[in-house]
Structures are given as structure tokens and as C-alpha cells.
Amino acid sequence: MGERDIHVPVLLERCLELLAPALDRPGALHLDATLGLGGHAEAVLLAHPRVRLLGLDRDTQALRLAGERLAPFADRTRLVHAVYDELGDVLDGEGIDGALFDLGVSSMQLDDADRGFAYAQDAPLDMRMDQTRGVTAAEVVNTYSHGDLARVLRVYGEEKFASRIAQAILRERAKGELNSSARLAELVRDSIPAPARRTGGHPAKRTFQALRIEVNGELAVLERALPAALDALKPGGRMVVLSYHSLEDRLVKQAIAGRARSSAPVELPFEPPGSEPELKVLTRGAELPDAAEVAANPRAASVRLRAVERRPSADRRQQQQAQPLGEV
């Protein structure tokens, strides 16, 4: 069974449904900012025979496998090795009709034991999505101070026992370098009181999430990427974001909120021209997967989906804001 055979795109039908009105336009350009193994991208290309695809991924292995999968559509695809906060440079001013962000770690990265993302199997502590650059998780656990380690685990993993886990890591590395994902998972488990280990899944889940976010700068990258993608959306263009933990979803919600509100003073009884919301929110809060989706794809269990459409009035509002003082 190959990589593409085991990859099940999360909330695929719902993503296609939300993106369709924006992609059913002549010459539409769709941005898949987190290409992965290309499951969502392939479905978009099949559903929209005239759509052009721009696919980004920081993982060179994912790009290679996605390229093989999308080879039948090579005449209308462009795949680029880039982190998604670099999308502005890649687009170089070109507007997009659709955009999809499928955040977090991919199935391929979790399943490849050598990458060190999974706490259930032993591997070197790497956790880099782009193995051509950046610090590894081993460098983080072996060089960060107790305070910095505890901060990473508490902020990015929302780990209540961050200080105890950080202290255990420091004791372990005093004996020699800590390079094993299995040993790290064991240290985390032993640092958490037994009653707290009985709920919430694997005890090391939050620590591994925190280290992965730190190694890849995921939240900082997302915070830069979302405004850039929204700025690039054409009027009527749509963006769908799939988040997998509360920290990601909070950033997505914040990026949308300001643009989905009118800029007019609340006391005005009417909407002055140019003050209309830039975005129309297409989902009621964050949509959750149903039981059938989770049964078919267990990795969808924690997903939260948000989607927006750029209003046709958004361009007029931007132009008015950009006018020099004194111009009519």
C-alpha cells in the first residue's frame, strides 16, 4: 500500500462544496497552501477542469509525492517548495479565487517513523517539516533552559505539568544527549501524575505538539500567512481553513474577525459606502466533523473548519482607503 493509498483528505466534500462557487469561474486560480500528499488538490482539479492550482509545501518529500499524484494535471499545476507565509512572494501580485489551509502535521509525517513526530514509535527527535533547514526537536530539548522549555510546553502544548516535564528533561540530558522520541515520551508519562494520565489521550501528546510548533514556528508562520492570503483573494474568492488545535483556530478566528465587521461607527443607523465588511463568514463558528467523518478518518477528530468569502465591495473599500488625502 503506497503513501497516497492511505491518505484520506479531511472534510473533503465540505471543502469542495465551500470552494466551488469561487472556482467555477474562467481562469480561476486555487492556492493549496499546505499541499501535503495532494489529496485535496487532486479533488479540486478533478471537480474543476479549468482551474489552475498553485501548491505550496515546506516538506520536499511531500512535494515529490504530490507531484507524482498530480502528474496528470501538470499543464495546470505549479508546485513550489515554500512555507505558506511566503505565499505573497510566490504569487507576486496575482490574485487567487480559492485558498485552502490544512494545518498541522500531515499523515505522511506522522506515519514516517524517521521524522520523530509520533510518540508511539521510536525515532530520532527531528520534527522538522522541512528537513533542509532549521533546528531539530533534539536541539530544543538539549539546549533550552528549564524556563524556556516550560514556556514552550505550557504555551504551545497547553500542558499543565510543563515545569515538571522540563525538569525531567534537564535531569535526563545531564546523563547524555536526549535524542529518542520513545525516551522523551517515557519521561513525559513519568512526569505526569497517574490520575491525570487516565484522560486526554496519550500523556505525551501535548509535549510533542508543543515541540513541533516550536521547531517549525507554526503559529508565527500562520499569523503572517492568513492576512497575506486574505489580501490576495479576489472579490468573490473563498478561503477554507482546517485547524487541529485551539491555538491554530484562535489565530484563524482573529484573522477573520476584524475583516468581517463593518468599519462604520456603531451609532450610525446606516452603512456608509466603503465601510462594509471585507469578508462574509460562510460558517457558523467553527464547523466540527460528524461521526461518519471521524469513523472514516480518525485523524479528523480534532478538526475545526472555518470559511470566508471576500465581498465584491472589498476592492472599493481598499481603493478608498488607499486614496491620497484630498482626492475625491
Same domain assignment for residues 307 and 286: yes
CATH number of the domain at 77, please. Answer: 3.40.50.150
Residue among 30, 89, 38 nearest 238 (CA): 30
What is the C-alpha radius of gyration for the chain, rounded to an integer number of angstroms? 22
Dihedral sign (CA 61, 14, 91, 262): negative
Residue-wise pLDDT tens digits, 50-60:
999 999 999 99
* Pair 139, 78 in one domain: no
Residue 152 and residue 58 share a domain: no
Q: What is the pLDDT of residue 107?
A: 63
> Residue 31 sits in which domain range?
3-102+218-260+279-312
Q: Are 66 and 162 in the same domain?
A: no
Instruction: List, for residues 203-234, the tens digit of each pLDDT value.
Output: 999 999 999 999 999 999 999 999 999 999 99
pLDDT of residue 267: 62
What was the pLDDT predicted at 324?
42
Residue ranges of the chain with pLDDT lower than 50?
1-5, 316-328
Same domain, residue pair 192 and 235: no
212 and 135 fall within a common domain:
yes
pLDDT at residue number 319: 47
Residue 302 lies in a domain: yes
Asked if 84 and 222 sit in the same domain, the reply is yes
Quick one: 12 and 25 in the same domain? yes
Q: 233 and 93 share a domain?
A: yes
| Segment (H or E) for 15 | helix 12-23
What is the count of structural domains for the chain? 2
pLDDT at position 270 is 59
Note whether 196 and 161 are within 8 A (CB).
yes
User: Which residues line the annotated binding site?
Assistant: 38-40, 57, 84, 102, 109
User: Is residue 10 assigned to a domain?
Assistant: yes
Q: Could you tell me which residues are annotated as the binding site for S-adenosyl-L-methionine?
A: 38-40, 57, 84, 102, 109
Q: Do residues 76 and 66 share a domain? A: yes
| Distance (Å, whole) CA 127 – CA 125 | 6
Domain CATH for 204: 1.10.150.170
Q: Are residues 30 and 92 in the same domain?
A: yes
Q: Specify if 163 maps to a domain.
A: yes
